[in-house]
């Protein structure tokens, strides 16, 4: 496995943003933050969009793309954000992988959504949802 290192929200965090080999990509929990400036998007919808853009960037750096996601774990910080997150995610995620969603606290204050993904590089990229 190789490590694809990107900025993390915590100094000296004991994890990597992404790991990959010739077949698989694992992207750790990613939020709707500009990791270079450490600024969160304001709304749950905008955090969801930025989170997916971040994940797309990490996948691309590892030789993959969003359409190759086969599994995700989604964390939403509260029921008041659930509808906005699910609606926005269904608009911006170009595939329908298996997934798990849960309501739980997120370690970064004011972060409303977090997602980790597993992608398979040999997974065919289709033109849309099936």
Of the candidate CATH numbers 3.30.70.330, 3.30.1330.40, 3.40.50.1820, 3.30.450.60, the domain formed by 2-120 belongs to 3.30.1330.40
Q: Which residue has the tokens 């694992």?
A: 26
Q: pTM (2 decimals)? A: 0.89
Assess contact for 124 and 130: CB atoms under 8 A: no
102 in helix, strand or coil?
Answer: strand
Span 93-107, average pLDDT: 95
Distance of CA 14 to the CA centre of its chain: 18
79 in helix, strand or coil?
Answer: helix
The pLDDT score that the predictor gives to residue 123 is 77
Tell me the residue ranges of DSSP E strands in 15-121.
18-20, 24-31, 33-34, 39-40, 69-76, 98-103, 113-120
- Among 18-22, 41-45, 54-58, 74-78, the minimum mean pLDDT is found in 18-22
pLDDT tens figures, 30-58:
999 998 888 999 999 999 999 999 999 99
Alpha-carbon distance of 43 to 73, in angstroms, equals: 20
Alpha-carbon distance of 50 to 112, in angstroms, equals: 12
The pLDDT score that the predictor gives to residue 130 is 44
Report H helices in 62-127. Answer: 79-92
Domain parsing of the chain, residue ranges: 2-120
Type and span of the H or E element at 76: strand 69-76
């Amino acid at each position: 496995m190789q490590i694809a290192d990107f900025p993390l929200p915590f100094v000296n965090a004991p994890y990597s943003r992404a790991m990959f080999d010739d077949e698989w990509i694992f992207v750790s929990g990613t939020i709707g933050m500009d990791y270079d400036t450490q600024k969160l998007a304001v709304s749950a919808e905008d955090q969801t969009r930025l989170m997916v853009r971040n994940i797309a960037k990490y996948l691309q750096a590892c030789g993959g793309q969003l359409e190759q996601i086969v599994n995700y774990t989604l964390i939403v910080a509260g029921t008041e954000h659930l509808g906005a997150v699910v609606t926005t995610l269904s608009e911006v995620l170009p595939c329908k992988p298996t997934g798990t969603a849960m309501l739980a606290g997120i370690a970064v204050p004011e972060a409303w959504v977090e997602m980790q993904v597993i992608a398979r590089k040999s997974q065919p990229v289709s033109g849309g949802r099936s």
